[in-house]
């Protein structure tokens, strides 16, 4: 009776009874008037939430330690130039994806121009280090400032817009940044900036040093973004994503909260830009085009919006898959495209979706028979 082609929910439980139109399923859980871009999922009544939720595993300190250890160990396993290069690229992409996840996954703001912040970070670091001779490490505070400024400039007037209008505005912003970098002399025009220094000489091969540095920074970023998603601010993001009006009625200043998400995303993007600039040694506008923004967004959605482990997996897939298909030439993106469709059909919520859950500590300790509450 159950149609095997129907998407299943991640917990492996069955969907509601088969229904005659694909749309019936879709609509049940959606409120048409208030279309949050993050959308909502399957009829989730059937979803089971075990106490071992993925996001809890990932936020446990042991998991974090495991990631860092694994990451740091990689060069001992394979220190080939190619391995390190694509591993570093993938890690930078992970950082971008968890940053965008704050904006899109947590807060539900559709951002199609995220590469703008990546560019701002890369160019700020590149410019200060090449033209002005700063050590790369010293550029980081400047990058954070620039990313925040960028976030303010574009976010301030536009965060009130509804999702698709926000999408086009961010897309436009991304293009503006890229084209401006392409047209200005100080940014090196179409060739961009080159000869960007690395973090310094630590007695190791420079690509190994860069890899290690990236691994540490990205691990910290992943943990930070995962933890950010859980506290007061993280909850507020989700409230805003779910229902802005209801959030307002709870005293949540939705505009400020969106802003916080946007600026947080900007900082992540900017820092990823620094890593990218160092890793590439040369940066130029084509690295920050719309396709990049789209790919980062795809990493977030493919992995599972709002789910840190999912987004990490998504980023690894989106970053490494085309690299693995490198030999396929023009078939490369054909295969990539088809794979994307196939994956999404089988896992519509993403590879490792977010399941709303409570930590074990949140279970009620002792039921109060006679509630006594002081107002």
Partner 1 sequence: MDYVLQLILNGLFVGTFYALVALGYSMVYGIIKLLNFAHGDIYMLGGFVGFTLLTVGSGALAGGGGIIALVVVMALAMVATGLVGLVLERVAYRPLRSAPRLSVLITAVGASFALEYGVAVGYGPNPRAYPVTVGGGAVHLLGARITYAQLVMMAIAVILMFGLDTLVRRTRSGRAMRAISQDPRACLLMGVNVDQVISRTFFIGSALAGAAGVMAGAYYGKIDFLMGFIIGLKAFTAAVIGGIGNIRGAVLGAIVLGLLESFGTAWLGSQWRDVFAFAFLILFLTVRPTGLLGERVTERV
Partner 2 sequence: GGGLKEGSSSNDSGEDAKGDIKLGMLTPLSGSSAAIGPYMKNGAQLAVDEINAAGGVDGRKLALTVEDEACDPKTAAAGAAKLVTAGINVSVGGYCSSATLPTLSIFGKADIPMLIPAANSADLLKSKLKNVFLVNGTGIQQSQAASDFIKSKGSKAVALLDDNTSYSKDITTRTADNLKNAGVAVANKQSVTAGESDYSGAVTAVMRAKADFVYWTGYYQEGGLLIKQLRSAGYKGDIMVADGAVDKKLVEIAGQANAQGTYATMTQTPATIPGGDAWIAKYKKAFGSDPGPYSPQAYDAVRIAAEAVKEAKGSTKGEDLITALEGIDGFQIFSGKLKFTPEHTLSEGGFDILVVKGDDFALNS
Partner 3 sequence: MNAVLECRDLAVAFGGVRAVDGLSFDVHEGEVLSVIGPNGAGKTSAFNCITGFYKPTSGSVSFRGADITGGRPANIAAAGIARTFQNLRLFGDLTVLDNVRAGMHVRLRQNAFDAILRTPRYRRSEQVATDESHRWLDFVGVRSDRTTQVRNLPYGEQRRVEIARALAREPQMLLLDEPAAGLNHGEKEELLALLRRISDLGTAVVLIEHDMGLVMEVSQRIVVISYGKAIAEGTPAQIRTDPAVIEAYLGAEDAEARSEAEQIAAEQAEELRAHENRARSSAQEEGR
Ligand X SMILES: Nc1ncnc2c1ncn2[C@@H]1O[C@H](COP(=O)(O)OP(=O)(O)OP(=O)(O)O)[C@@H](O)[C@H]1O
Q: Which residues bind ligand X (CB under 6 A)?
A: 16, 28, 43, 45
Of the candidate spans 166-174, 200-208, 211-219, 225-233, the one that interacts with partner 1 by CB under 8 A turns out to be 166-174
Alpha-carbon distance of 350 to 311, in angstroms, equals: 9
Of the candidate spans 130-138, 167-175, 231-239, 287-295, the one that interacts with partner 3 by CB under 8 A turns out to be 231-239
Considering the complex, state which of residue 16 and residue 189 has its C-beta at the smaller distance from ligand X. 16
**Rg of the chain over all Cα atoms, to the nearest angstrom:** 22
Alpha-carbon distance of 67 to 163, in angstroms, equals: 34
Alpha-carbon distance of 62 to 312, in angstroms, equals: 17
Alpha-carbon distance of 248 to 244, in angstroms, equals: 6
Using CB distances below 5 to 8 A depending on partner kind, what does residue 151 bind out of ligand X, partner 2, partner 3, none? none
Instruction: Write out the two tokens for 301.
Output: 């959605």
Question: Under a CB-based contact definition with an 8 Å cutoff, are residues 315 and 299 in contact?
Answer: yes
Binding residue for partner 3, selected from 29, 60, 183, 191, defined by CB under 8 A: 29
Place of tokens 């505005």: 169
Distances in Å between the Cα of 275 and the Cα atoms of 94, 109, 117, 210, 331 are: 12, 25, 13, 8, 30
Using CB distances below 5 to 8 A depending on partner kind, what does residue 45 bind out of partner 2, ligand X, partner 1, none? ligand X
We find the least distance from the C-beta atom of residue 16 to ligand X, in angstroms, to be 5
Q: Is 13 in the site for partner 3 (CB under 8 A)?
A: no
- The answer for residues whose C-beta is within 8 angstroms of residue 149's C-beta and 6 or more apart is none
Using CB distances below 5 to 8 A depending on partner kind, what does residue 16 bind out of partner 3, partner 2, ligand X, none? ligand X
CA angle 74, 79, 82 (to 5 degrees): 105
Of the candidate spans 52-60, 143-151, 159-167, 217-225, the one that interacts with partner 1 by CB under 8 A turns out to be 159-167
Using CB distances below 5 to 8 A depending on partner kind, what does residue 323 bind out of ligand X, partner 3, partner 2, none? partner 2
Place of tokens 């229902």: 243
Q: Is 64 in the site for partner 1 (CB under 8 A)?
A: no
Of 40, 101, 90, the residue nearest 305 (C-alpha): 101
We find the least distance from the C-beta atom of residue 245 to ligand X, in angstroms, to be 12
How many residues can be counted in the chain?
375
The DSSP H or E segment spanning 153 is: helix 136-158
Query: Binding residues for partner 1, per CB under 8 A?
Result: 5, 7, 21-29, 32-35, 37-43, 104, 110, 154, 157-158, 160-162, 164-165, 167-169, 171-173, 175-176, 179-180, 182-183, 245, 290, 294, 297-298, 301-302, 305, 330-334, 336-341, 344-345, 348-350
């Amino acid at each position: 009776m159950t149609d095997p082609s129907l998407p299943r929910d991640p917990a492996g439980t069955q969907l509601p009874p088969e229904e005659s139109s694909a749309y019936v399923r879709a609509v049940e859980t959606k409120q048409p008037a208030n279309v949050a871009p993050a959308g909502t999922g399957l009829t989730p009544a059937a979803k089971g939430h075990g106490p071992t939720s993925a996001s809890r595993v990932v936020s446990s300190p042991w998991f974090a330690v495991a990631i860092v250890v694994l990451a740091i160990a990689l060069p001992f396993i394979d220190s080939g130039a190619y391995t390190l290069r694509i591993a570093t690229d993938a890690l930078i992409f992970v950082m971008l994806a968890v940053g965008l996840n704050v904006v899109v996954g947590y807060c539900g703001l559709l951002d199609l121009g995220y590469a703008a912040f990546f560019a701002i970070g890369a160019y700020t670091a590149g410019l200060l280090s090449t033209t002005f001779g700063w050590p790369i490490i010293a550029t980081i505070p400047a990058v954070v400032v620039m990313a925040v400024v960028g976030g303010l400039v574009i976010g301030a007037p536009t965060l009130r817009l509804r999702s698709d209008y926000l999408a086009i505005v961010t897309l436009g912003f991304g293009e503006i940044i890229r084209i401006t970098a392409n047209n200005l002399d100080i940014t090196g025009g179409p060739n961009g900036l080159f000869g960007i220094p690395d973090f310094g000489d630590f007695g190791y091969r420079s690509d190994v040093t860069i890899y290690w540095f990236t691994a540490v920074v990205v691990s910290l970023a992943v943990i930070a973004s995962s933890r950010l998603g859980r506290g007061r601010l993280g909850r507020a993001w989700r409230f805003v994503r779910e229902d802005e009006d209801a959030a307002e009625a709870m005293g949540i200043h939705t505009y400020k909260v969106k802003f916080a998400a946007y600026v947080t995303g900007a900082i992540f993007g900017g820092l990823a830009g620094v890593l990218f600039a160092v890793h590439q040694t040369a940066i130029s506008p084509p690295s920050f085009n719309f396709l990049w923004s789209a790919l980062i967004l795809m990493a977030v959605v493919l992995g599972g919006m709002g789910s840190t482990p999912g987004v990490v997996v998504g980023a690894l897939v989106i970053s490494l898959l085309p690299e693995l298909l490198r030999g396929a030439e023009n078939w490369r993106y054909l295969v990539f495209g088809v794979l994307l469709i196939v994956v999404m059909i089988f896992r519509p919520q993403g590879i490792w979706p977010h399941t709303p859950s409570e930590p074990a500590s949140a279970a009620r300790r002792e039921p109060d028979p006679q509630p006594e509450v002081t107002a």
